[in-house]
Structure 1
Amino acid sequence: MMPTDATILGVPLKYVSLFTLCIQNSTLVIVMRYSRLDKENLYYTSTAVFLSELAKFVICLYVAGRNQVRETGRFSIQELYSQIFAPDAWKLMIPAALYTIQNNLQYVAVSMLDAATFQVTYQLKILTTALCSVIMLRTSLSGIKWFSLVLLTFGVALVQMPSGDPVNSSEDDDGYMEKIVGLGAVAVACVISGIAGVYFEKVLKGSKASVWIRNVQLSFFSLFPALIMGVWWKDGAGVWENGFFYNYNYVVLAAIACQAVGGIIVAMVVKYADNILKGFATSISIILSFLASVYLFDFIVTSTFLMGATLVLIATYMYSKPDPKQEIPTNNKEKEDDGYGYAYTPANNVNGNGYTSVDGSESQV
């Protein structure tokens, strides 16, 4: 197992992983938005979601196989197959379907909203995940975390406020409706992210299967709703007429790749960095997306947006901080080491990306 103080070219791996997470988070939103700008030559997002899930499946399957070799010293296809298609594997069908819907909604949102507004608004997944944790897992949140969630909600609300500029106020009806649809897509995606993430954690809490096996199951079961509900039902006629890779280019492929590797990067951050640094990386990603929107997409900066985005950054950092002197009974600290260094702690998945996450401050491996 690689030590947590490992380095790459002399740079501690925790900083490398954080830098990679910042770039991936900000690049994903920017690339997805850029790939949807040409309204005359749009690709079918359902095919992009399917390919992303397929790539996730291949990556997780590879890591699960490598994990098996590190544990047992050999690779057994039969053993890996029996672990993936265990009797309780069907439990992952529900979050798999939810994550597929969420991923499609993300494409809808970035088609309607600028990258900065999408990135800031999408942080509501922290709120929805926290609420779902309280309801479904009976998680207890500290006063500071509740305050950060209120601050987060207020900040997102400020971001959506009109600037009061007469030019912007005379925005055409089509543009206004696009923004409403985009915000609605983000809101639903955040709710789905919270439900699916907490349900996934609940499954992991009572499971003996490794985290990577669960992720293989999740990505595998995601292929079917992505193919049936998306490629066949949503865009079936167009795909049949124009082809699966209609209007694909290097930007579309980059968006698919960014979405596919996101969970692996999160796993690296969880292993080698703590939760505070992960929150800091998320904040940096928001800032990078904001700057990119200004220079690449002619985003108009308003005072209300700056105030709202600042509150969201503060709230994200506050929520990621561990509670001071928090004592957790041993029988409640249920963890699982997947054999590859990723410990599991319930009710901390706020990534909403189809991969489980843990509180890095608790993962000392």
Structure 2
Amino acid sequence: MSAGGTIFGIPLKYVSLITLCIQNSTLVIVMRYSRLDKENLYYTSTAVFLSELTKLLICLYMAGRNQIHETGRFNIPELYSQIFAPDSWKLMIPAALYTIQNNLQYVAVSMLDAATFQVTYQLKILTTALCSVIMLKTSLTGIKWFSLVLLTFGVALVQMPSGDSVESKEDDDATMEKIVGLGAVAVACVISGIAGVYFEMVLKGSKASVWIRNVQLSFFSLFPALIMGVWWKDGTGVWENGFFYNYNYIVLSAIACQAIGGIIVAMVVKYADNILKGFATSISIILSFLASVYLFEFIVTSTFLLGATLVLTATYMYSKPDPPKQESLSNNKEKDDGYGYDYAPANNVNGNGYTSVNGSEPQV
């Protein structure tokens, strides 16, 4: 399947755009919907663990399939040696960080509406850029710096309350929930930036395939998800009520979206350019906004619309490719991993801790 191919007559780059939009918006909406019933909440730590386990199984299958494609046979000892290579321990750090981030996302969507979460979570663009500048000495153009300032200003506007609210105890509780939710988003964005840039440092010079790296990442994520989440955070409740307490098809859908969403994106995003990726993120924000109005009775304010517009503009500006520089082409071009897959700089690790093929940061 070539980059210029089609599916049902539709160019693959537009199929990628549609897939990105669906993945980016559906996950946030389903996660938010699964947390609406405050009387029958499930344990989010078990959802994170199951999501990582599902990703591990899918990536194992894809790694085995890739091995057959490359060598013509399936060799378990060779696959095992690739997964548990001497440098595999480096994935422990981003695995732990992504596990914390995924748990914080559940906290955030429990406290914030889908539209506010989706817009605010774009701050991960800012944190990833800053971490890249600090840790990798990356140089950003003036346009990108301006887009980051615009992004920050837009997110700040989204958080401004409407001026016609009446003080009450319920308002105080709602305000406290929003503060907790915004705090969770802020920490998740910082973690996303640090983990993404660290992961890029690990990928540079690596000869392992993208699927092997994601098997390693998912495998090492199981331990913090089980120990810090299921055992330490929700251990008492899980022991008394069971691992699958208050699970239903909505919860399973949220787990499935989180597990397979990034994988779907990883397989198709290589056909979309940076501008289309920016469009996908922008459209997903709009879809989340419309869904919040329709499903969650989200109240639209003028400041939210202005802030969201600035975030959409900043996201598009940041996604535009820089003018080519002869001396930096060898450093900035996307690199082939030797297994038929590409990887690119740090913003190509998505919000779920999954490495995208020629990727983007889809998100959540």
For Structure 1 versus Structure 2, the TM-score category normalised by the shorter chain is over 0.9
Counterpart of 1:283 in structure 2 is 282
Give runs of aligned pairs for residues 3-14 of structure 1, distance below 5 A.
3-14=2-13
Indicate conservation of the 8 Å contact 1:269/1:278, yes or no: no
In 2: Cα distance, 1:102 partner to 1:293 partner: 23
Deviation digits for residues 135-168 of structure 1, max 9, x if unmatched?
1111111110000000000000000001111347
Structure 2 gaps of 5+ residues are none
Residue identity matched to 2:48: V
Over 3 Å counting, the alpha-carbon distance change for 1:109 and 1:323 in structure 2 is: same
In 2: Cα distance, 1:37 partner to 1:226 partner: 23
In 2: Cα distance, 1:187 partner to 1:58 partner: 31
Counterpart of 1:196 in structure 2 is 195
- 1:169 Cα shift? 8.4
Counterpart of 2:229 in structure 1 is 230
In 1: Cα distance, 2:257 partner to 2:101 partner: 16
Aligned residues: 360
In 2: Cα distance, 1:162 partner to 1:331 partner: 47
- 1:6 Cα shift? 2.1
Give runs of aligned pairs for residues 214-225 of structure 1, distance below 5 A.
214-225=213-224
Counterpart of 2:122 in structure 1 is 123
In 2: Cα distance, 1:336 partner to 1:78 partner: 28
In 1: Cα distance, 2:235 partner to 2:151 partner: 39
TM-score, structure 2 as length reference: 0.95
Over 3 Å counting, the alpha-carbon distance change for 1:298 and 1:258 in structure 2 is: same
In 1: Cα distance, 2:269 partner to 2:153 partner: 28
Counterpart of 1:263 in structure 2 is 262
Structure 1 gaps of 5+ residues are none
Counterpart of 2:244 in structure 1 is 245
Question: Cα RMSD between the aligned structures?
Answer: 1.8
Counterpart of 1:55 in structure 2 is 54
Give runs of aligned pairs for residues 141-156 of structure 1, distance below 5 A.
141-156=140-155
In 1: Cα distance, 2:136 partner to 2:358 partner: 16
What is the SS of the residue equivalent to 1:163? coil
Give runs of aligned pairs for residues 46-85 of structure 1, distance below 5 A.
46-85=45-84
In 1: Cα distance, 2:348 partner to 2:65 partner: 24
Counterpart of 1:179 in structure 2 is 178
What is the SS of the residue equivalent to 2:347? coil
In 2: Cα distance, 1:179 partner to 1:103 partner: 18
In 2: Cα distance, 1:237 partner to 1:348 partner: 37
Counterpart of 1:87 in structure 2 is 86
- 1:331 Cα shift? 4.8
Deviation digits for residues 191-235 of structure 1, max 9, x if unmatched?
000000110010001312122111110010000000010001111
Identity over aligned residues, as a percent?
88
Indicate conservation of the 8 Å contact 2:341/2:358, yes or no: no
Counterpart of 1:205 in structure 2 is 204
In 1: Cα distance, 2:143 partner to 2:334 partner: 24
Residue identity matched to 2:237: G
